[in-house]
Structure 1
Amino acid sequence: MAASARRGPYFCGIDAAMDVVAGKWKSLILWELHHHGTRRFAELRRGLPGVSEKMLIQHLREMEEDGLVHREVYRQVPPKVEYSLTEHGASLNAALASLGEWGTERMRRIGAERVSVDGVAAAGR
């Protein structure tokens, strides 16, 4: 596994964890791969409305370096690349589950709306 851009010294475990999930899209990429399994790049991009191609590429590369995502390249024409969670990525996703529950409760408390994948607003689901 290649070294990440930042590697300590860390002040605590939260600091070390946040180093790996820093960036708006990383936790959402983890969620997408957890809930939908192995995905091709275009499928990931469709599942994450608003992410730019450049940002998705950057985050996937960093997550691969950190051992969270496995990138499988199939030597065929046209080229095919698939992304999946590693065991390490799945364990991080499990750790983030309680944070997601906290966020859902917060949305309910403040009456925030969440926009679903199809663009329709859904109150604090």
Structure 2
Amino acid sequence: ALVAKLAGRRLCEQCGRQFNVAEIEGGGLHMPPLLPHEGMCGDCDDDPPLEHRADDQEAVVEKRLRVYQTQTAPLIDFYGQRGLLLTFPVRMGLGDMPRLLKEMGVEAPGYEEVDFPEAAAAQ
């Protein structure tokens, strides 16, 4: 699921706005796609096409995950053993953000009012 979501990223060549064409459902996950309007950004005047970045190809994503396991996972163990790590299960993508901020004790006035399509769809 993670590889599919990362490989599904697209961005506007002009403004950098990000989208995701992958839909992940099942196993407790609810991450609908963040789709552009008709394959175009919608925010830019000339509607440039969306770009699939070279580093978001499935093989590249899988390699990044292997690097994560060898280089980052030991840091997680290190900080976890010292009680300095917050473990937070992501189930709805951006829809999890208000809950994550609350868990971290971060006050972000107005953030809970941001419209996250994933959160609305999960309710």
TM (normalized to structure 2)?
Answer: 0.33
TM (normalized to structure 1)?
Answer: 0.32
